[in-house]
Amino acid sequence: MSRALVYAAAGVVLSLGEPIGLLFVREIYGAPPIPTELLLERVTYIYISVTSAILLGALGYLIGRQADRLEALAETDALTGLANRRALRRRLTDDLHRARRYGSPVSLLVVDVDGLKRINDERGHAAGDRVIRRVADAITATLREADLGARWGGDEFAVLMPDTPGEAARHSAERLALHLRWRRGGDAEPVSVSIGIATFDPAQGMRVDAEELAHLADEAMYSAKRAGRDRIHAA
């Protein structure tokens, strides 16, 4: 549930304090007992309760919506619009806990753009940024609904795939690489990627945390680069 709705509900609950406080203050200063006061001034107290609930609920909603926006900005990569490393680590930890509980596999792809330094040196950083955005667009275009694409940092990306065994993750990696190859042509910079795959499968008795799974996928990616780039290797 978003913070906007939670804060709005909290505002409505807090608004009850205004009529309740008024009742006690009036009783202290000699007003009739609370039941009698409510009966005699019921319209006034209904009005106070409703207006307070509307005002504090609306204020809570606005504050919560702003908090949601700030959280989204804190977990989004500015250049690509993908999740950033912080968001991916949090989601990976959650998915691994869920995988252990339900016995489902989780796969992680680490995607490295081949030759980005050369592109930056020869064509400038604007050209390098275009390449990064193209890879991000390709990741977004090939994601399943449950997957999370993220910019891992620099020229590296990651794709988190819950409920996905290793073979299915390889098919997704091949689809991503093919999508980038298909988009080559014209004056666009040629793009290839090296992809490493690591899969956590509780059925195999594996015991890894988020850091270890990311390290395995990263090592598989470097293995793909050492083998000649534009390849897919699994840990």
Instruction: Report residue 221: phi and psi, to 5°.
Output: -65, -45
Verify whether residue 68 is a known catalytic residue.
no
Among residues 114, 125, 81, the alpha carbon closest in space to that of 184 is found at 114
| Token pair 């598989």 in the structure block, residue | 220
Neighbours of 35 (CB within 10 A): 9
Tokens describing residue 205:
């008795």
Q: Are 185 and 220 in contact (CB under 8 A)?
A: no
Q: What is the dihedral of CA 40, 46, 47, 53, to 10 degrees?
A: 150
CB-count burial class (<10 Å; 0-12, 13-18, 19+) for 48: middle
Q: Specify the length of the chain in residues.
A: 235
Distance CA 62, CA 155 (A): 37
Burial of 203 (0-12, 13-18, 19+ CB in 10 A): exposed
**Opening angle at CA 149, ends 146 and 150, nearest 5:** 140
Catalytic residue among 95, 114, 155, 218: 155
Positions marked active-site: 155
